[in-house]
Amino acid sequence: MKDVDGNHPIRPRATPVLQEFAGEGLRTLALAYKDLDEDYFHQWKRRHHEASTALEDREGRLDQLYEEVEKDLLLLGATAIEDKLQDGVPQTIEQLSKADIKIWVLTGDKQETAENIGYSCNLLQEEMNEIFTVSGNSPDAVREELRNARNAMKPDAVDSVFPSERSLVKGPKVLMDEEVNGEHGLVINGHSLAYALEHGMELEFLRTACMCKAVICCRVTPLQKAQVVELVKKYKRAVTLAIGDGANDVSMIKAAHIGVGISGQEGMQAVLSSDYSFAQFRFLQRLLLVHGRWSYLRMCKFLRYFFYKNFTFTFVHFWYGFFCGFSAQTVYDEWFITLYNLMYTALPVLGMGLFDQDVNDAWSFQHPRLYVPGQLNLYFSKRAFFKCALHSCYSSLVLFFIPYAAVQDTVRDDGRDVADYQSFALLTQTCLLFAVCIQLGLEMSYWTAVNTIFVLGSLTVYFAVTFTMYSNGMFLVLPSAFPFIGTGRNSLNQPNIWLTILLTSTLCVLPVVTYRFLLIQLCPTINDKVMFKVRQTKASPPPPTRRARIRRTSSRRSGYAFSHAQGYGDLVTSGWFLRRPAAPRPLGPAHAGRATTGFSPMGRSAGYSPTGRPQNAKAPGVEVTSLQMYRTISDAAL
């Protein structure tokens, strides 16, 4: 790039000006031009068309043509555009950082502009121990800078990315997190990032970057943005989210697990390629800390409850097989097996999956650390699945053997026997439905009218369907399809049957209640602490509001604080407020010459002589006629 006028070069002046603009966070742009011959342009246009329609090495041929024409340009000048941050960006970055979300900025801005934006949005902070800058122009220089930064953060760090014991694990390797002392930041340029993303150095870059609290990659291309996202997905096994507002962010948005587009002046390309879209960056904290956390919590509860109710339902058949000789006879009624997941337990778990929440959105914003248990897979994991299966096995034992012992050799009040297969099947399936409904109630943290209707409605529908299908009319219509004639009214009218249902349901949920009580008392989680604080806030009444008293005085406001008359100017400027007493007390001879005291609303006092003249007044020669906000003081002697 050359100067337009050789006698007055502007390139030496433009470079520091551009750096100054970039340091202030402005978007800089250098303007240049070049005169092209018409024959050369038509020839270049033809080659450009051939390269753009080529099937092999299209990008390389186009880059070569662009480099050919973008030479020997004449510099015209430089411009700077102010691109302000949206409202709430620093607060959003701070909230996401408190939620232990790693934030990387991939931008095409210059290094000075990117660093200024990092400080303005609280991504980079002055309290950080050190901010490392990687700007090497060769692979060896970049590798050396990355290792120096890693050794500064962790002096005892080994050069090997994967320890020897991890290399024996089959399958793709996972880069483990490393703890460092203090907080650090990393800034890397685009040309250095190109070397850092090479096959032999990508793990060095990722390891060093993951040890930093904030990472800024400046002067990066759209392809490099996607490569950084793919690198994190491959070796960190982390869930990635990419957010952008321009066409150069489309590849990054598509590469991430979750793509978020911001609609604005940059166009709609990012919005059309994203999974979620909104107009302001600050809405990201509601998407993650509120709706994202609620959705993950509901899904985990849904899975745990779904496995529990179906495992319990199935394990009862396993215990029944030892008593029926494994003859494939079912322990439940055939209609109950058909309607169990279709009608009896479908709506309650659906209501929990749609409406449940541990705390509301306001408490979620106040405590961003509530997001951390989801990152650690504490809500649903292999361990949680094993505990769910163990609980189901225990519940199935209770649901089978307690009703079996209750109906064995049992007779009604009239002497008739109730120890038959149909009565046992009805009792077992009723206990099962009550147990899973109570377990669902323990899982839910937020009850609504819809959840209540779903749970109570499921039990109501169960008894309505049971008495209908076990009636004489249904048996007369289809005797083979409804063999449990009269079982409902003959069994459910016995007190011992209902006591068995109560005992069985209580024993099924008793271990869960005991475990949760001990867990909250001995080792409470962040959710338990916040929910306890919410209950305390609801239980304690709000403090009574004090009604402000308006103190009425006889003072009159004066529109003139000072004038050209003689008065008590020094007293006015000294800050003492004077107020004439309403009725001066008569003084006796013994008190002649002694001053009375009048109090102002500000808690200060001033002395008065019996004639109304302030004792601390100086000789005439001071300008004042009135005190603003108080009664005018005058003396005829003046």
Which residue ranges make up the annotated binding site for Mg(2+)? 245, 249
Which residue do the tokens 């934030």 mark?
103
Separation of alpha carbons 60 and 66, rounded Å = 10
8 A C-beta contact, residue 271 and residue 287 = no
CA atoms within 13 A of residue 593's CA, in its CB half-sphere: 2
8 A C-beta contact, residue 201 and residue 139 = yes
Q: How many angstroms separate the Cα of 596 from the Cα of each of 18, 441, 569, 617, 619?
A: 73, 75, 22, 15, 21
Question: Helix 382-407 vs helix 495-522: angle between axes, to the nearest 10 degrees?
Answer: 150
CA atoms within 13 A of residue 349's CA, in its CB half-sphere: 22
**Most distant CA pair in the chain, distance:** 124
Tokens of 55: 């099937």
* Strand partners for 608: 596, 614
Chain center to CA of 293: 7
Residues whose CB falls within 8 Å of the CB of residue 112, separated by 6 or more in sequence, listed in order: 19, 22, 23
Closest Cα to residue 106, out of 118, 94, 98?
A: 118
Q: Which residues are annotated as a binding site?
A: 27, 107-109, 219, 225, 245, 248-249
Q: What is the CA radius of gyration of the chain?
A: 40
8 A C-beta contact, residue 303 and residue 380 = yes
User: In this structure, what DSSP letter does residue 566 have?
Assistant: E
8 A C-beta contact, residue 353 and residue 440 = no
Over the range 545-570, which residues count as b (16 or more CB within 10 Å of their CB) and which as e? Answer: eeeeeeeeeebeeeeeeeeeeebbbe
8 A C-beta contact, residue 25 and residue 113 = yes
Q: Which residues are annotated as a binding site for ATP?
A: 27, 107-109, 219, 225, 248-249
Separation of alpha carbons 248 and 108, rounded Å = 9
Q: Where are the beta strands (DSSP E) in 265-346?
A: 276-278
What string of H, E and C letters represents the secondary structure of 414-453? CCCECCCHHHHHHHHHHHHHHHHHHHHHHHCCCCCHHHHH
8 A C-beta contact, residue 34 and residue 73 = yes
Which residue do the tokens 């916040």 mark?
530
Cα angle: 598, vertex 600, 606; to 5 degrees? 45
Cα angle: 359, vertex 363, 369; to 5 degrees? 95
8 A C-beta contact, residue 507 and residue 400 = no
